[in-house]
């Protein structure tokens, strides 16, 4: 599917997002390249602290202070053919405000991040529609009711008047999805939206997202630490570690042929016993280091069982295509080094 004149929807190049701290510069995202094609689902996976959320926040320019974009580009190729570098926009300016919610919407683990407890849910969905889609209140109400029905909320007219606390967790997620999709965005960023839900409701919400994607045609950037969820929903997976993408492939290829030692350990951490809850990714022993005054070496070196002394501890591997549209950042597969500025 083509998106206007450009085949890509989002094109991230060399993104660096840093936080100024008392101890120095924390490099949360340190050179991420990522493409999202229209209508596809791109998964981002990695343990807590790998930079998944900060990547998403960078796209929408909602990185909290003292965070800032230190370098790189985030090209959004819009439906009208115009391209805009989100990294260059004023985070408080009118351009990014017009893009948030309209071109790019985001859903979170906790629906109350985007829902207000003091307003009926119908009014909240309507507000987004009035802001981005139509000034006509009657039409906005119709769209809001239609969206509630599409996310399979029964009796939308009654629910319209209810407050978030009157709904179950799964229902609140559906309302947040309705709100996010009410302006027909070309990209939906989903940051762990099903993590807090029980397994059955989680499966229903994933099913709903897939169904809505077929209907609305939006691309989805799905952030999670749950490999089972990624297998379920993503076309392509990006494995992140310490602010960088360390492996990228189609979901099928990644699960069949994981190459990076980190990815292989993540895959081993899924229990094989049916019916048991999936473990979190912290099943890989050790922790993600804090990217503060980090030495020039592979980020995974300290936890890697296959590290090459004198190689992985003194230089950073580049992300290299090793065939089958499969990229990996590891000296076990390529000698190529990352040329860090």
Contact set with ligand ATP (CB under 6 A): 19, 26, 28, 46, 48-54, 64, 67, 225, 290-291
CB of 193 to ligand ATP, least distance (A): 13
Cα separation of 100 and 123, whole Å?
19
**Do 219 and 40 form a contact (C-beta atoms < 8 A)?**
yes
Neighbours of 132 (CB within 10 A): 19
Question: Please, what's the largest Cα pairwise distance for the chain?
Answer: 68
Which letter does DSSP use for residue 135 in this model?
Answer: S
Nearest to 237 by CA among 320, 48, 223: 223
CB of 223 to ligand ATP, least distance (A): 7
Q: Is the Cβ of residue 178 or residue 223 nearer to ligand ATP in the bound state?
A: 223
Q: Is the Cβ of residue 28 or residue 316 nearer to ligand ATP in the bound state?
A: 28
CB of 77 to ligand ATP, least distance (A): 25
Please state the separation of Cα 159 from the chain's center in Å.
29
Q: Is the Cβ of residue 51 or residue 101 nearer to ligand ATP in the bound state?
A: 51
Q: Is the Cβ of residue 302 or residue 334 nearer to ligand ATP in the bound state?
A: 302
3-state secondary structure of 43: strand
Strand 24-36 with 187-191, pairing: unpaired
Q: Is the Cβ of residue 81 or residue 295 nearer to ligand ATP in the bound state?
A: 295
User: At a CB cut-off of 8 Å and minimum separation 6, what does 106 contact?
Assistant: 56, 60, 114, 180, 188, 189, 190, 191
CB of 3 to ligand ATP, least distance (A): 27
CB of 54 to ligand ATP, least distance (A): 3
CB of 207 to ligand ATP, least distance (A): 23
Report the sign of the C-alpha dihedral through residues 117, 123, 126, 132, in that order.
negative
Task: Name the CA dihedral angle for 29, 113, 189, 62, rounded to a multiple of 10 degrees.
Answer: -40
CB of 228 to ligand ATP, least distance (A): 16
Cα separation of 264 and 247, whole Å?
11
């Amino acid at each position: 599917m083509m998106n206007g004149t450009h085949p890509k929807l989002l094109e991230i190049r060399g993104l660096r997002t840093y936080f100024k701290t008392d101890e120095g510069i924390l490099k949360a995202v340190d050179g991420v390249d990522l493409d999202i094609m229209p209508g596809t689902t791109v998964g981002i996976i990695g343990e807590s602290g790998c930079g998944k959320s900060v990547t998403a926040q960078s796209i929408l320019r909602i990185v909290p202070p003292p965070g800032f974009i230190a370098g790189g580009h985030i090209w959004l190729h819009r439906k009208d053919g115009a391209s805009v570098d989100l990294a260059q926009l004023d985070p408080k300016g009118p351009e990014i405000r017009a893009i948030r919610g309209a071109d790019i919407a985001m859903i979170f683990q906790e629906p109350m991040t985007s829902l207000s407890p003091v307003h009926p849910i119908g009014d909240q969905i309507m507000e987004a529609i009035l802001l981005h889609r139509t000034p006509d209140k009657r039409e906005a109400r119709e769209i809001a009711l239609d969206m509630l029905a599409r996310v399979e909320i029964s009796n939308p007219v009654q629910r319209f008047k209810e407050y978030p606390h009157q709904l179950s967790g799964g229902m609140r997620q559906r309302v947040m999805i309705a709100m996010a999709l009410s302006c027909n965005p070309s990209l939906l960023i989903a940051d762990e939206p099903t993590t807090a839900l029980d397994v059955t409701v989680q499966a229903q919400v994933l099913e709903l997202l897939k169904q809505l994607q077929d209907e609305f045609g939006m691309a989805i950037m799905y952030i999670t630490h749950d490999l089972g969820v990624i297998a379920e929903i993503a076309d392509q997976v990006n494995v992140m570690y310490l602010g960088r993408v360390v492996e990228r492939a189609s979901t099928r290829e990644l699960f069949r042929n994981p190459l990076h030692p980190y990815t292989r350990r993540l895959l081993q951490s899924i229990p094989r016993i049916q019916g048991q809850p999936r473990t979190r990714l912290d099943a890989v022993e050790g922790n993600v280091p804090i990217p503060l005054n980090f030495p020039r070496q592979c980020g995974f070196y300290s936890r890697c069982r296959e590290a090459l002394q004198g190689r992985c501890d003194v230089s950073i591997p580049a992300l290299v295509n090793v065939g089958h549209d499969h990229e990996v950042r590891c000296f076990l597969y390529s000698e190529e080094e990352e040329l860090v500025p």
